[in-house]
Amino acid sequence: MNAPTYNFAYLDEQTKRMIRRAILKAIAIPGYQVPFASREMPMPYGWGTGGVQVTAAILGPTDVLKVIDQGSDDTTNAISIRKFFAKTAGVTTTTSTEVATVIQTRHRIPEASLRAGQVLVYQVPIPEPLRYLEPRETETRRMHALAEYGLMHVKLYEDIARFGHIATAYAYPVKVNARYVMDPSPTPKFDNPKMDNCPALQLFGAGREKRIYAIPPYTSVVSLDFEDHPFTRYKFDAPCALCGAADSYLDEIVTDDKGSRMFVCSDTDYCEGRQAAGHRGSQAAAPHKEAAHD
Amino acid sequence: MEAMISDLLAGFPDAVLSAQSTFRAVMEAMARPGTIQRVAATVGVPSGLTRAAAALALTLFDHDTPVWLDPALATGPDVATWLKFHTGAPVVAETVRASFALIRDGGLLPDLESFALGSGEYPDRSTTLILQVASLGEGRAYELRGPGIDGAATLCTAIAPDDLFDRLAINEELFPRGIDVVLVHDDSMVAIPRTTRLVVAGG
């Protein structure tokens, strides 16, 4: 048979070594963006090529992989990446946060607590938190080298001056291990507290921008704020309409063309788990019966 | 005379999966400083190297990573020839050029500042030391703190040089520049990244 065959987990071994070395340095210098020679992947930039390369470099045959996009296991991006690794690495995939050993994510951190031994891989579009404030890479490099982050505080202050509060709602900057200011990728700031002192290893891959960074387990991650305007995690007015959870991050779903809407958990695994356990929200239908994925 | 290929020891039995499992061990070691991780893969071990050091070399070294060998490893031909064949990594004489340094005799460890420490802008361009030690899991107790450690971790080890942790105090002054160390013994490894701080050294 002459069908093309791929190396385990798609990437060639030299590429994996290069990415692996970058990951080790990223862990050793928490929050620092390590440049790496990002490869072209069989999917376009913006679809998670950074996260995919990190996952490909760490994945082994005994891993159990979960992929989420905006908290959901069921979106096109999540399904295609899960299938990609099921095909190229033959790994078991899951939608369960509990069971997974490697979780690749776009824009959310699962609601369920992560445990030691798990790895959370973030897909990152713009890794440089200072980029919109200072376009020159040479300058942002120097600002990180000197821990010169006044500009970021000015930006947050301008939010307060214009809106009366810090209006940044996602990609909310954090300081890692009291040293580097880091972009947590465009996760809602609701998720920021989950990064602090997390038992799992957190790896970040930006394919187009060619950067890898990391937060080791049990590392301090502090959202930037001011004494008189402390960081706040916003709270939703109503619980999830399907499972009744009052502690989760909710998505707004428009249900018709007359302005009707419902708010449901963005984390589908969390919501399904709660419904399976008998929790019901205001618009819950019959008990959840979706078949297992894959 | 150059060694014949047939005289060379093997590398990994499975270049892909052995490297993957060894990488996960060293990634876990780096993410949880002070914990002992083990190399599961079998590997040909040239005389002078430990199994963990040999596995790490095959996992991380290639033509992009200049390697410095300490005098105890550089004098015999085995290690250099084996590395050259299996990894293609250039062996360099200047410590400052090395991405990795393999050290068998820690008693003769050069001044840490002679290795690459990275720059303020690119602190990742620094040497990773792979240091063979007399034991991991027994010996003098060191209490460690830092990222990756939940509170404090206790590492028991017999290390040469015995003032290694005092020397690594430069990591605190230089951060984010610095030196990352992987201690290896037999099939075990413990990582001491530049963020790890010694709290107390016991008896």
Instruction: Indicate the range of A211-225, A237-251, B57-71 predicted with least confidence.
Output: A237-251
B23 to chain A: which residues are within 8 Å by CB?
16, 20, 57-58
Per residue in B35-54, pLDDT tens? 999 999 999 999 999 999 99
Domain of residue B45, CATH code: 3.40.50.11310
A23 to chain B: which residues are within 8 Å by CB?
27
A57 to chain B: which residues are within 8 Å by CB?
23
Rounded mean pLDDT of chain A? 94
> Is the predicted ipTM greater than 0.95, yes or no?
yes
Predicted confidence (pLDDT) at residue A2 exceeds the cutoff of 70: no
Confidence band of B4 (pLDDT split at 50, 70, 90): low
Most distant CA pair in chain A: distance in Å?
A: 68
Which residue from B138, B114, B115 is spatially nearest to B190, judged by alpha carbons? B138
Q: What is the pTM of this model?
A: 0.95
CA distance B99 to chain A (A): 10
Domain containing residue B150 = 2-200
HEC assignment per residue over chain B:
CCCCHHHCCCCCCCHHHHHHHHHHHHHHHHHCCCCCEECCCCCCCCCCCCHHHHHHHHHHCCCCCCEEECHHHHCCHHHHHHHHHHCCCCECCCHHHCCEEEECCHHHCCCHHHCCECCCCCCCCECEEEEECCEEEEEEEEEEECCCCCCCEEEEEECCCCCHHHHCCHHHHHCCCCCEEEEEECCEEEEECCCCEEEEECC
CA distance B128 to chain A (A): 9
**For A67-78, what is the mean pLDDT?**
95
Do the chains contact at B180 and A28, CB–CB below 8 Å? yes
Count of domains observed in chain B: 1
Both tokens assigned to A287: 């008990």
**Are residues A192 and A184 in contact, defined by beta-carbon separation less than 8 angstroms?**
yes
Confidence band of A236 (pLDDT split at 50, 70, 90): confident
Provide the residue type at A104 as one letter: Q
CA distance B148 to chain A (A): 5
Torsion from C-alpha of B132, B135, B141, B143, nearest 10 degrees? 40
Per residue in A104-158, pLDDT tens? 999 999 999 999 999 999 999 999 999 999 999 999 999 999 999 999 999 999 9
In chain A, pLDDT over 90 holds for what percent of residues? 90
d(CA B29, CA B24): 8
Per residue in A14-66, pLDDT tens? 999 999 999 999 999 999 999 999 999 999 988 999 999 999 999 999 999 99
**pLDDT at position B1, please?**
45
